[in-house]
C-alpha cells in the first residue's frame, strides 16, 4: 500500500483559535489594529520563511512587510477553514520567490552577508562557519525543493499542510523533501561527519 495514503495529516491544519478568528474577522472588515495584532503574531515566522529562502535578513524583513501588505489586500478572500498561519506562509513563500527573481544577485551564495559575521572566539567562529555552510547549502537547493524543506524543517509544517500551501500532491512534497535532504547530506557531508 502506498505510504502517502496512510500519512497523518498532523492536526495543525485546524481552524484558527477563537480569539484569532475574532481578529481576522475584524481585520477583514478593515480594522487595521486587529490586523496589526495578526502581524505581530506572525512576524517572526514570516520573516524567517523569507530569510531561509533568500539568505538576507534585511531583504527578508522588507519582503515580509510586502507579504503582510499582500495578505491585507487578499484578506477579504481568506476562509478560516485553513489555518491563518499557513495562509500567510503561503503568501510569504510566494513573495520570497518573487523577491529572489527580482534580485537574483541575492542568491549569489558567495556573497551572503552571514559570511561577514565578526569572528569571535574559536568556538563561535566555528559555529558561524558551520551556520554559513548550512545556509549556503540550503540556498543552493532548487527553489521548489528549498521551500518544501524550509516549511518542514524550520517551520514544522506537516506534509499535508505543505501540500495544501504549495498546491502540489503530498507525494511530490515527499519526493522534493527527500531530494533536498539527499542533496544536503551530500553537500554537508564534512559537517555531518564532524558532528
Partner 1 sequence: MEQHVTDRIAAYHDGALTAAQQQRVAAHLANCAACRAELEALEALTTLLHAAPPATTTLSPERFVAQVGLRLPRQPERTVLQQAAEVGWRLIPVGVLGAWTFVQTVLILGTALLIVTTLAGVAGTLSPAMGWLNHVLGYLPDTIATALRGWFQQRVAGSLMVGSVMLLLGIAGLYGSWLASWWLREQRADGRQ
- What does the binding site for partner 1 look like in residue numbers (CB under 8 A)? 3, 6-8, 10, 30, 32, 35-36, 39-40, 43-44, 47-48, 51-52, 57-58, 60-61, 64-65, 68-77, 90-91, 94, 114, 127, 130-132, 134-135, 138, 152-154, 158-159, 174, 177-178, 181, 184-185, 188, 191-192, 195
- Give min distance, CB of 49 to partner 1, in A: 10
- Give min distance, CB of 122 to partner 1, in A: 16
Distance CA 170, CA 152 (A): 13
- Give min distance, CB of 98 to partner 1, in A: 11
- Give min distance, CB of 61 to partner 1, in A: 5
Distance CA 28, CA 22 (A): 10
Of 16 and 163, which CB lies nearer to partner 1 in the complex structure? 163
Of 99 and 158, which CB lies nearer to partner 1 in the complex structure? 158
Contact criterion met (CB below 8 Å) for 157 and 139: no
Of 84 and 159, which CB lies nearer to partner 1 in the complex structure? 159
CB burial string 48-69: b at 16+ within 10 A, e below: bbbbbbbbbeebbeebbebbbe
Query: How is residue 104 written as a grid cell?
Result: 537574483
Of 108 and 190, which CB lies nearer to partner 1 in the complex structure? 190
3-state secondary structure of 167: coil
- Give min distance, CB of 193 to partner 1, in A: 10
Distance CA 172, CA 194 (A): 32
Of 64 and 147, which CB lies nearer to partner 1 in the complex structure? 64
Q: Which candidate, 150, 137, 139, places its Cα nearest to that of 176?
A: 150
Q: Which candidate, 51, 45, 14, places its Cα nearest to that of 161?
A: 14
Amino acid at each position: 500500500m502506498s505510504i502517502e495514503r496512510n500519512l497523518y495529516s498532523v492536526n495543525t491544519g485546524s481552524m484558527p483559535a477563537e480569539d484569532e478568528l475574532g481578529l481576522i474577522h475584524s481585520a477583514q472588515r478593515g480594522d487595521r489594529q486587529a490586523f496589526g495584532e495578526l502581524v505581530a503574531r506572525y512576524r517572526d515566522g514570516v520573516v524567517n520563511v523569507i530569510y531561509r529562502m533568500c539568505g538576507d535578513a534585511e531583504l527578508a524583513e522588507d519582503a515580509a512587510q510586502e507579504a503582510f501588505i499582500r495578505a491585507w489586500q487578499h484578506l477579504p478572500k481568506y476562509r478560516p477553514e485553513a489555518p491563518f498561519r499557513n495562509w500567510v506562509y503561503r503568501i510569504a513563500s510566494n513573495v520570497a520567490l518573487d523577491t529572489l527573481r527580482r534580485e537574483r544577485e541575492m542568491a549569489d551564495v558567495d556573497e551572503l552577508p552571514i559570511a561577514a559575521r565578526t569572528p569571535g572566539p574559536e568556538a563561535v567562529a566555528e559555529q558561524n562557519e558551520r551556520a554559513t555552510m548550512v545556509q549556503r547549502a540550503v540556498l543552493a537547493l532548487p527553489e521548489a525543493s528549498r521551500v518544501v524543506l524550509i516549511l518542514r524543517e524550520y517551520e514544522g509544517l506537516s506534509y499535508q499542510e505543505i501540500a495544501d500551501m504549495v498546491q502540489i500532491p503530498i507525494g511530490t512534497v515527499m519526493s522534493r523533501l527527500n531530494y533536498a535532504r539527499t542533496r544536503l547530506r551530500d553537500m554537508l557531508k564534512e559537517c555531518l561527519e564532524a558532528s
